[in-house]
Amino acid sequence: MLTSQDSPSSLVEEQKQVIRVALVGNPNTGKTTLFNALTGLKQKVANYPGVTVERKAGQFSFEGHRIEVIDLPGAYSLRPTNDVERIARDVLLGLMATEKPVDVVVVCLDASNLERNLYFATQVMDLGLPSVIALTMNDEAASMGNPVERSILEQHLERPVIETVAPTYKGVTELKRAIVQAVGKAGEDLPWSIGEKVLVAIEHLAAEIGRHKPMERRILRQIAVELLLDRRGTNRMIDLPGIRETVGKLRAELEWAGVKWVESESLGRYAWIRSVVNTTREVSRQKFSTSRSDKVDRVLTHPVFGLAIFIGIMAVVFQSIYTWAGPFMDAIDALTLATAGTVAGNMAAGPLRDLLTDGIISGVGAVLIFLPQIVLLFLFIVLMEDSGYLARAAFVMNRHMRRFGLTGHAFIPMLSGFACAIPAIMSTRNISDPRTRLATIMAVPLTSCSARLPVYALMIGALIPATPLFAGFTTQGFVLLSAYLFSILAALVVAKTFRMTVLKGRQQAFIIELPPYRLPNWKTVLNSVWERGRMFVTQAGTIILAINIILWFIAYFPHDTSMASRYDELRSTAEASLSGDALQARLVDLGSQESGEMLRSSIAGRLGQTMEPVIEPLGFDWKIGIGLLASFAAREVFVSTMAIVYNVGDADETSVSLMDAIRNEKHAQTGESVYSPLVALNIIIFFILACQCMGTVAVVKRETNSWKWPLVMVGYMTALAYITCLVFYQVGSKLFPGLA
């Protein structure tokens, strides 16, 4: 029996202002839903210092107590295999300097997977911290004929066990009361056996560690268990003077005594856990046939049908992004124009008015117009995750990803890359094989993140006709789906190239838990979508605002007053000689000519013209060149840059949208359209392949702890984008001259 004689630091005052609670459990145990039920919207999300693991905390008040809940990352063991589990261990052991000690631990137990969940739960309870058990999913266990008897489980664990159904708030009040009552009450020792010889070795090793690092005995013992039983030796305490030698000696003594020390903990825990499970189950005598979940999985995880269904689902997603978001985008566009008009109507003409209307309002509005599409994309991803389908998609894709040197574990970061590459790269920390993880990091930036979506939507909306195809699908939806599929293919090919060259190595086995199918909790879903949408607006918005001011400045100056006077004279002449539609058409033409000449002579125009010879073979002109330069800081800035370039913020009755401005752009000499469907496709390809996000570069540097891999990423992506676009445009313009 592994015991602990130390008590946690107790509360000496009954009305302590804050009770700190850690919410822990395996992934997919309903922990997040329970966290939301406890804290409501009073939550803060950030990252733990020095790592890219998300820290989520919230507060609530109950019976005069203020309670702070920390939702620790889902973990399978206190013997960490990655940074996610390391965070959970360090917070519970009090080893994280930035976190105050925990007063109570709430352990989530999924009743439908009780045996597996109890392994981690018993490790947590062995810490001796005051703890409460939240029994989740017991309604699902009952539907499968295996409900858990709460009172019997409580007797075995000797901790309060509260059955909860978070979506309906069942048991939430009882759980809050149990948390308050548990404060200061150390948990009882669990009667599982690790073996006397192993226990003696653990105590000896804990004493040796304590000589170098004085800590509470329960912490020393847990570190000793990890050092003694984990062959990987990832705990830094192994480097303390003499500890590595002591560990080797103790292991040799255990082997000489015939003790299976590697399996001792798992054998001891599971032997006791099985006896607990057998007595707490009310197993129905009714014979259950294959569950509906298994029947559905036979189709959704089928190597052929499952892949076809996944592609079909993604096709519906991307067509819906266009169809459903349309009215909201029109409303934002109208609001942007109206706001610019109001500002212009109440200010005297001059640089300040132009900055507000052309630079800030129209620039930021040109990106915000695509927020409905981004929110819809987030919504679909969260729904797939919460329903349990995302894990099935990873299982289906594993077969195909192994051909590219990856496993199904890499699929989830790649799919997450559709939202943002930064958290997607962070999530690769769950990939234990370092070569596979690095190949995934190098490939993830190619998946089409939400920052690219405004560019796709702009090019497709302006230059790709909405020709009906079949069953409500149009060419616009098809092109958008193709862009995402192409980005996935590009990422897989790049990963395969890395795995065949600089990252050679044996592939690891793929193991993934398939959570039960569940109806998503809409409150949780909408809260998650709100948070992600808000973060996009706040993070992207600050970058866009700063860059737009700089872009407006270099696009406005040097301001040629003589040119402005000349065009004022031309407008006066037109007003004197023309009227009606002819006058309006002439004024629009003069405005376009003036803004074009002004921009060409500006700092931005000169930069664009300087790089035009380099990008002209790709079908891009100097105006696109200005957008490309700005987009290397952040992709979504391309749209606001083009809004500034095309001066769509002038708030008069002749104002047009950015899509119309691009669609109607003509060559001054030939009168032909400057941009074509082929150019639109090439811009999309460039944005898929090029590295245009400084945040991604920074996070790759942090994840790899080196500038080597970020520089490799920037180099290969830029070269790949240029060469691919060069070949595509040159070949495409010859094979399909009608599209060029």
Greater pLDDT, 218 or 120: 120
Predicted pLDDT at 118: 92
Q: Tokens standing for 408? A: 């199904």
Nearest CA among 293, 296, 281 for reference residue 145: 281
Predicted pLDDT at 74: 84
Predicted pLDDT at 289: 42
Distance from C-alpha of 393 to C-alpha of 73, rounded to nearest angstrom: 22
DSSP string, 303-355: TTHHHHHHHHHHHHHHHHHHHHHHHHHHHHHHHHHHHHHHHHHTS-SSHHHHI
Nearest CA among 269, 260, 516, 530 for reference residue 378: 530
CB atoms within 10 A of CB 641: 27
Distance from C-alpha of 467 to C-alpha of 452, rounded to nearest angstrom: 23
Residue 121 has pLDDT above 70, yes or no: yes
CB atoms within 10 A of CB 488: 21
Distance from C-alpha of 344 to C-alpha of 651, rounded to nearest angstrom: 6
User: What residues have CB less than 8 Å from 299, skipping those under 6 apart?
Assistant: 305, 306, 309
Could you tell me the pLDDT band of residue 12, with boundaries at 50, 70 and 90? Answer: very low
Predicted pLDDT at 721: 94
Distance from C-alpha of 484 to C-alpha of 236, rounded to nearest angstrom: 42
H/E segment holding residue 569? helix 561-577
DSSP for residue 63: T
User: What residues have CB less than 8 Å from 683, skipping those under 6 apart?
Assistant: 455, 459, 620, 624
Give pLDDT tens digits for 615-637. Answer: 999 999 888 888 888 777 667 77
Residue 53 has pLDDT above 70, yes or no: no
Could you tell me the pLDDT band of residue 706, with boundaries at 50, 70 and 90? Answer: confident
- Intra-chain end-to-end CA distance of the chain, in Å: 76
Q: What percentage of the chain carries pLDDT values higher than 70?
A: 85
Q: What percentage of the chain carries pLDDT values higher than 90?
A: 17
In the predicted model, what is the mean pLDDT of residues 251-256?
88
Could you tell me the pLDDT band of residue 286, with boundaries at 50, 70 and 90? Answer: very low
User: What residues have CB less than 8 Å from 378, skipping those under 6 apart?
Assistant: 419, 450, 528, 529, 532, 533
Residues 433 and 508: beta-carbon distance below 8 Å: yes
Residue 405 has pLDDT above 70, yes or no: yes
Could you tell me the pLDDT band of residue 42, with boundaries at 50, 70 and 90? Answer: low
Could you tell me the pLDDT band of residue 232, with boundaries at 50, 70 and 90? Answer: low
Q: Is 740 exposed, middle or buried (0-12, 13-18, 19+ CB in 10 A)?
A: middle
Give whichever of 288-297, 526-535, 537-546 has the largest mean pLDDT.
Answer: 526-535
Greater pLDDT, 703 or 227: 227
Q: Where are the beta strands (DSSP E) in 395-484?
A: 468-470, 473-474
**CA torsion 293→295→298→300, rounded to 10°?**
-50
Distance from C-alpha of 201 to C-alpha of 596, rounded to nearest angstrom: 80
Residue 513 has pLDDT above 90, yes or no: no
Nearest CA among 253, 239, 302, 237 for reference residue 90: 237
Give residue 1's identity as a one-letter amino acid code. Answer: M
Greater pLDDT, 55 or 1: 55
Residue 158 has pLDDT above 80, yes or no: yes
Predicted pLDDT at 6: 41
In the predicted model, what is the mean pLDDT of residues 561-569?
81
Residue 461 has pLDDT above 70, yes or no: yes
Could you tell me the pLDDT band of residue 731, with boundaries at 50, 70 and 90? Answer: very high
Number of continuous H segments (helices) and E segments (strands) in the chain: 31, 9
Give pLDDT tens digits for 330-365. Answer: 888 788 878 888 888 888 877 788 778 776 776 677
Residue 122 has pLDDT above 80, yes or no: yes
Is the overall model pTM greater than 0.75, yes or no?
A: no
Residue 589 has pLDDT above 90, yes or no: no
In the predicted model, what is the mean pLDDT of residues 541-562?
71
> From residue 129, how far is each of 38, 102, 216, 269, 540 by CA, in Å?
20, 8, 12, 19, 42
Residue 4 has pLDDT above 50, yes or no: no
User: What residues have CB less than 8 Å from 471, skipping those under 6 apart?
Assistant: none
Name the average pLDDT for the chain.
Answer: 80
Predicted pLDDT at 728: 94
> From residue 106, how far is each of 3, 59, 97, 153, 161 by CA, in Å?
20, 14, 21, 15, 10
Dihedral sign, Cα of residue 616, residue 619, residue 622, residue 625: negative
Predicted pLDDT at 429: 67
Could you tell me the pLDDT band of residue 724, with boundaries at 50, 70 and 90? Answer: very high
Bridge partner list, 107: 24, 133
In the predicted model, what is the mean pLDDT of residues 60-72?
90
Greater pLDDT, 31 or 506: 31
Q: Is 47 helix (H, G, I), strand (E, B) or coil?
A: strand
Greater pLDDT, 57 or 363: 57
Predicted pLDDT at 574: 86
Greater pLDDT, 656 or 198: 198
Residue 709 has pLDDT above 70, yes or no: yes
